[in-house]
Structure 1
Amino acid sequence: MVSRYDMRYLVFLRGIPGSGKSTFVRENNLEPYTISSDSVRLLLKPPVLSVTGRPAISQKINRRVWGLIYSIIKCRMEDGDFTVIDATNAGNADIAKYRKLVRTYRYTAICIDFSDIPLEIAKERNRKRPEYEIVPETVIDELYSIINRQKVPSFVTVIKPQKFYEKLRYKPADFSHYRKIHHIGDIAGNYTALMQYFACGLNDNDLYIFLGDYTGREVERAENIGNPENPEIIKFLLSIMCRENVILLEGDHERNFRRLEEGEKQTQISEFADTRYYLPEIEQAGITRNCVLNLYKKLKPCIYYKFGNRYVLVTHGGLSSLPENLVFVGAEQMINGVGEPEDAYMVAANFNKNTNENTYQVHGHRNPENLPIENGRTFNLCSEKEGFLRIVTLNRYGFHSQEIKIQKLTF
């Protein structure tokens, strides 16, 4: 079972030609998520004649093929998409080259091992392939030897094909033991409003889910509200991020944090500032780059949980349905939501229509029509009014929503 913190997966299929990798992809309907090395070869170049006079997939373009595959995988990982690599992945180096991408984009790397297939069975299957797909048996022997000599890199978890859905199916966490669950909407630098809510601190018997967009936009905040209190917000999150009863989701404002991870040689947080979403002078507040990176690593794209007889999906952007397996939904859609910003009402209406009566959704991020907090079984915690913080709580009696209004901030 996938833990509540594992959502981004890069899956390597590892085995000799004829071991059943491509069949596994078809039988599990994974074609839309799979990058096949042979398919990319055929995209770049059609079959060529071999020295025997038979058509074959060209192996002389491998450098271009793997350069293209690496670029495609990087693009997918930037959006947090579930991705499968269908190739032999025989040598340690074939998988190790993705180590940096896995770390940068906070992925979990899984290897599905097909090495149990007997060599002669694989060769027999290979002979029955379309003529241009047949691999020389000497090549199969060499790949078989490499797989048996070399281990998969340590950052990758190895499983057998039959364990795929057991390992990668996202199941709801059961939070029924908590007294109350607090969903904290887009903070956007409103530290004062947040502290009004947490005047008595955090209760160990409660669960706190923060929906993202923690820092604010100084250039867009109203004059009667004051500048965003970003350093204070970040310090507060750093102080609570390791608590068992705190879950921090990722919002689109947190893209700045990723820039720190991507630009390891840079040292100034301000160098990664976007003109719209930035962290003003947080170094001067004593917040180091490593602190921000540690916070970033705690951020998750969603949480799906059970509380009594209710099931609740929490994302930053909002989804229009609850897929059978959330692993297949890209993190970018969870963070930015499906559709356009102005589709918030339609997203809520379709989620309510596409799910059963005991399934609920909580999200923030967008609300251009200034919808109320409660929209059927969807709760919108994005307030279009500056200086307001939306919160919804859930206990055994049901949901309760509130909107905290603050006066002009003082510093």
Structure 2
Amino acid sequence: MTAPLPWLAPFRDSPFEGQVLVPGSKSLTNRVLILAALADGPSVLTRPLGSRDTNLMLAALTALGATIERDGTTWTVTPSAWDRTEATEVDCGLAGTVMRFVPAVAAIGRAPVTFDGDEHARVRPMGTTIATLRDLGVEIDDGGRGALPFTVHGAGQVVGGQLEIDASASSQFVSALLLAGSHFDKGLELRHVGTALPSMPHVDMTVAELRRRGVHVETDGPNSWYVHPGPIGALDVEIEPDLSNAGVFIAAALVTGGSVRIRNWPEKTDQAGDAWRTIAPAFGGTADRDGADLVFRAGATLNGVELDLHDVGELTPVIAAIAALSGGPSSLTGIAHLRGHETDRLKAIVTEVNRLGGDAEELADGLLIRPRPLRGGTFHTYDDHRMAHAGVVLGLRVPELFVENVVTTVKTYPNFAPVWERLMMKNT
């Protein structure tokens, strides 16, 4: 198949003023889908995200025996009976939530389930998933690779009990086990023993969703969880807007000196993207609630920043793009774990910003960005939706900037490119 031609990112020489209703949260949708497939009855999801990552999760859970009926913005999930014995396969694509969450679910069943994905998925860190499931007595055949592809041989039960894990590379390793833990015979007493756990809001989201469904989860500090054995209650839910995806529109307001209204911003949420309420002011902007919405406005100047993004690393590419257009140097730290995301995001950001004439440097645990005038060219995405978002933000202020493979944004935001083009070309 011929690769699509690079896409000319819209350029603006006037402030962007607009309002946006972003699609549902990918992180929440995929967690809710897992819990619905494990529940004690059918669940209805309203306004879930329909994207590549969530479609991969739908296909994975269907392969494990769940039934999912889609009717527009309403999905009904009927749990699996977990009695299938025939071998099946799961395509993970490049979705970390599929490759890390679903193996623990497959271990509960009786069928051999083979997991594989895109080419780059085979180099993503998976050794922790494989090792921890083996520690729980699950048979896994990975050919000694510690990576995709591998086969989980479910035995119809997982004993559970005490388990130590080093999840320093990704909090998804913790969430995966917590989501399935109540179905283990003894539940799960999980303890993280590595360096500081990244992306804690995602773990908090997992625990909150379990508790909403009646699962008894005890926590002892930031590194210890006890999921009691028991049923997961069926629950009808409405999915929150994806606040991480809102970040690209907030960035548009900041770098053009404009404003944006993000509709239906939750009053309280465990999403990492909620950090934009403090990140925008760090750059000199403002974030103010207006009814159900949050309105972000640029300040008189776009400041450089010093930010520890350890808990919200997924926001880094867009933040780095803002920093490259700011009025002073920026230091983004606490994000060494981004080297194991869809691509090595630290290396990718430095490569692409410097390719355009910028001055970005990798640190041991982050990035140092010194703003310089940027020139047009091609911004490579590495099949990473967050890198594509960074590219289009730069394109607002850099003429003749082409974004390679902008369609990779379908991973979490269907139709992103036409939506972005329509909004950014309006009233220019």
In the superposition, the TM-score normalised over structure 2's length comes to 0.30
Higher Rg of the two aligned structures: 1
